[in-house]
Each structure stands twice: as C-alpha cells, then as structure tokens.
Amino acid sequence: MSAAVIVGILMAGGVYLVLQRGLVRVTIGFVLIGHALNSLLVAAGGMGFRAVSFISTSDPAEAADPLPQAFALTAIVITFGITIYLFGLARSGAEDIPADDVPDEERAS
C-alpha cells in the first residue's frame, strides 16, 4: 500500500510538471516520473520480502527479489544520463529559445 501511495504521489507531481511549458520544469517532472517508475520496479518484486538476497546468508523464502533491483539500477543510470543531457539542451539553445519556454514552431529555410 505504501508503495502505491509513493508511486501515485510521484507520478502525479511528475505529470503535472511535464505539462508545464518550461523545459527545466519538464526535466524535473521526468526526474519525478523516473523515481515513480523505480519505486514501481522495486515493488514489482514484492514488498514483503526483505531479507538480504544472498543464498548463503538468508532463507531464500524471505530473500528480496534481486532482479527488479537490478532493473531499477539500470533505469536510474539511464534516466540520470538523459536528465543531464536535457538540462544541457535547455541551456544550449537559451539565447534563441528561452530555457523556460517553448517557441511557436517555425520551419527555418
């Protein structure tokens, strides 16, 4: 239940920010969505299993599922890389397109 609430709050905040016009806000929105998805991934392994997932140290029946944790780790790395690039993109066009707004489209020729 607590996982569902966390995912819900993060997702709601993320979607709200992504719908804003400014690119910086959109980026932060995607960070929140990324957090929501990582929580979702970890929750997908089952919240009840909390023991260390090494076979020799704990009972396999109580061990946490390591696979979704590995998924989450991969996803964190990818999201982090893209977030940095997105911030870079917000900065690099800032003279012509303000980082906090998206211009009306115009096809340059």
Which CA distances in Å does 56 have to 29, 51, 59?
41, 12, 8
User: Least distance in Å: CB of 41 to another protein?
Assistant: 5
Distance CA 23, CA 98 (A): 9
CB closer to another protein out of 30 and 63 = 30
Contacts of 73 (CB under 8 A, 6+ apart): none
| Interacting residue ranges for another protein, rule: CB under 8 A | 18, 23, 26, 30, 33-34, 37, 40-41, 43-45, 67-68, 71, 74-75, 78, 81-82, 85-86, 89-90, 92-93, 96-97, 102-103, 105-109
Q: What one-letter code names the amino acid at 20?
A: Q
CB closer to another protein out of 64 and 90 = 90
User: Least distance in Å: CB of 87 to another protein?
Assistant: 11
CB closer to another protein out of 60 and 81 = 81
Which CA distances in Å does 36 have to 8, 68, 74, 77?
8, 14, 15, 15
User: Least distance in Å: CB of 106 to another protein?
Assistant: 7
